Structure 1
Amino acid sequence: MRPVRTRHATWHADRYITRAIALAVALTTLFASGVATAAGAVCASHSPSHRVALVELYSSEGCNSCPPADNWLSQWKNSGATQSIVPLALHVDYWNSLGWTDRFSQHRFTERQQTLTDLAGGHTIYTPEVFVSGRELRGWSQRDSFQSRIEELVAEPAQANVALELKPQAKGAFNVDAQFTSKAADASGTLNAYVALYQNALNSQVKAGENNGATLHHERVVRQWIGPVPLVAGHAQIHRDLHIDDADANAPADTFGVVAFVENAATGDVLQVGELAACH
């Protein structure tokens, strides 16, 4: 005997299907827009179809003109790839011999700043200095100048895709899996992949140098840097365990996140950026 399907049962079945379809659409929209989703302790995101601006601020705790730039960058600490601005603060080390050692400084950031400057035909590096997707923007503090540059980038289709997964392990430890796919022609130059682990809500009490006596607040500070990893046949993967080994590693997991991007090594242009905050 065939079971009789009542109107009540049919209504519940239709309602269940409708909800399932709505959920699938919502999840698809989230992934397409680059918004992080959580499945257990694993977060995931995917870069959007348009180009996203990587905003690199080169800064130092030893520089008294840097705190205003640090504050300027912090306004986008929660923006993410969906808003087309992904900020990073890279602390250089060439101020460390002038009275105060910046605990967030790394020589590799000084080298990166010099490389980007050389590629653009420049000679002098300084702080604070801002690069937007690999190109210096001297007018970064002028709203119209910055906004115009962002709008130009966002109007361009992405030439690469970045997919990210991030899983917190222990205090200050994370497992990251980044997949990079290039749409750019190989003739444009070697393409490299990078991953940066950043941290928010950092504070320092400066006891020497130009900022002596000041308490400095930092957002989006790069703590770990991986790359360059060349794309081979249009693809690269960075799968690593990242760990911060200092007092700030005890901060809540949701103060951390990762940024991944594809860069043209010949020009310094950043083709696409992905970002993912740690799940909480």
Structure 2
Amino acid sequence: MQKLIWIALATGAALFTAATVAMNDTADMALQRAKPAAAAPLDGKRPVVVEFFTSQGCSSCPPSDRLAAKLAREPGVLVIQRPVTYGDRLGWADTLASPTNTALQQAYARSGLAGRNGVYTPQAVIAGRGGLVGSQERALRQQIAEAGKLAAPAVRLRTKPDGVTEIMIDGTGIGRAQVLLVGLDSDETVSVSRGENGGRSLSYTNIWKGERALGTLSGGEASFMVDAAEKIIAGANRYAVIVRQGKAGPILAGQILP
């Protein structure tokens, strides 16, 4: 039986590492070491949204950050990095962290997220449905492939001559969902001077900077317009649209905007 210890927000620094978060039995760990991550091809038909919850104060997070950057270059994945705040107690205040990210991870934990649920770093959440340790590439790719098989609304993008982006979504049979514009910072490198990663430079990809609701999808087709004024979220230089059920529910679709 796997021995899993999940970190609550009240846990101390000694429980912060991913090794403490997920302690598998010896046989399972040996299996993971014996099977290096294979580059399982992603079909690229539509991106699966993967959110990475990490902290600059977490010494186990840099491998997850590197995996996030790797997946972000592949057509079958839309990566959103969501640095959290509770690692700040370990001696370094995360320069990219947001309380909104911490709150979302807590909400995922309360919702009964499938897989390795809880509040810990590094965690990857796949399509708002399942979670696992964010550095486990092989398992993560398997979950991405499975999420890509689920029914999802079709998203088409068109940029008009005036620069307005039209987002056309066919949600037939999907049910009610929110359509959100998400602001991202495409890449950042941070020099950490204290804490578990003191003396290291850490790189991040598609860091969450904010979001706003564009409207609601109620089944059938819907169209949303995004002009230049709406693409103003502090710190963002890239934008994506995601379709989510509820505040911390499944993410049904996502696309980077042109």
Does TM-score exceed 0.5, indicating one fold?
A: yes
Which amino acid in structure 2 is aligned with residue 207 of structure 1? S
Deviation at 1:178, TM superposition (A): 5.8
Q: Does 1:212 align with 2:204?
A: no
SS at match of 1:237: strand
Does the aligned pair in 1 maintain the 2:177–2:243 contact within 8 Å?
A: yes
Q: 1:191 aligns with which of 177, 185, 208?
A: 177
SS at match of 1:113: helix
Residue deviations 1:31-79 (CA, integer Å, cap 9, x gap): xxxxxxxxxxxxxxxxx99553101001111211111110111102322
Does the aligned pair in 2 maintain the 1:200–1:221 contact within 8 Å?
A: yes
* Count of residues paired in the alignment: 209
Aligned pair in 2 of structure 1 residues 66, 180: CA closer, same or farther (>3 Å)? farther
Partner of 2:224: 237
Does the aligned pair in 1 maintain the 2:172–2:219 contact within 8 Å?
A: no
Partner of 1:151: 145
Does the aligned pair in 2 maintain the 1:50–1:158 contact within 8 Å?
A: no
Seq. identity, %: 22
Deviation at 1:223, TM superposition (A): 2.3
Partner of 1:273: 254
SS at match of 2:96: coil
SS at match of 1:105: coil
Partner of 2:106: 114
Unaligned runs of 5+ in 1: 1-47, 168-174, 250-255
SS at match of 1:96: helix
Q: Does 1:181 align with 2:169?
A: yes
Aligned pair in 2 of structure 1 residues 273, 101: CA closer, same or farther (>3 Å)? same
Query: What's the TM-score once normalised by structure 1's chain length?
Result: 0.63
Aligned pair in 2 of structure 1 residues 50, 159: CA closer, same or farther (>3 Å)? farther
Separation (CA, whole Å) in 1 of partners of 2:164 and 2:180: 12
Q: 2:120 aligns with which of 118, 126, 129?
A: 126
Does the aligned pair in 1 maintain the 2:244–2:252 contact within 8 Å?
A: yes
Does the aligned pair in 1 maintain the 2:69–2:204 contact within 8 Å?
A: yes
Q: Does 1:260 align with 2:247?
A: no
Q: Does 1:85 align with 2:77?
A: yes
Across the aligned residues of Structure 1 and Structure 2, the Cα RMSD in angstroms comes to 3.2
Does the aligned pair in 1 maintain the 2:54–2:121 contact within 8 Å?
A: yes
More helix by share: 1
Deviation at 1:224, TM superposition (A): 2.9
Aligned pair in 2 of structure 1 residues 209, 258: CA closer, same or farther (>3 Å)? same
Does the aligned pair in 2 maintain the 1:195–1:258 contact within 8 Å?
A: yes
Does the aligned pair in 1 maintain the 2:209–2:233 contact within 8 Å?
A: no
Does the aligned pair in 2 maintain the 1:51–1:157 contact within 8 Å?
A: no
Structure 1 stretches (4+) deviating beyond 4 angstroms?
A: 48-51, 164-167, 175-178
Separation (CA, whole Å) in 1 of partners of 2:140 and 2:159: 30
Does the aligned pair in 2 maintain the 1:160–1:271 contact within 8 Å?
A: no
Separation (CA, whole Å) in 1 of partners of 2:53 and 2:167: 26
Which amino acid in structure 1 is aligned with residue 186 of structure 2? N
Partner of 2:56: 61
Residue deviations 1:212-265 (CA, integer Å, cap 9, x gap): 2211111221223224843356536363131435xxx8xxxxxx4222110111
Q: Which has the higher contact order (CA 8 A, sep 6+)?
A: 1
> Who wins on radius of gyration, i.e. which is larger?
1
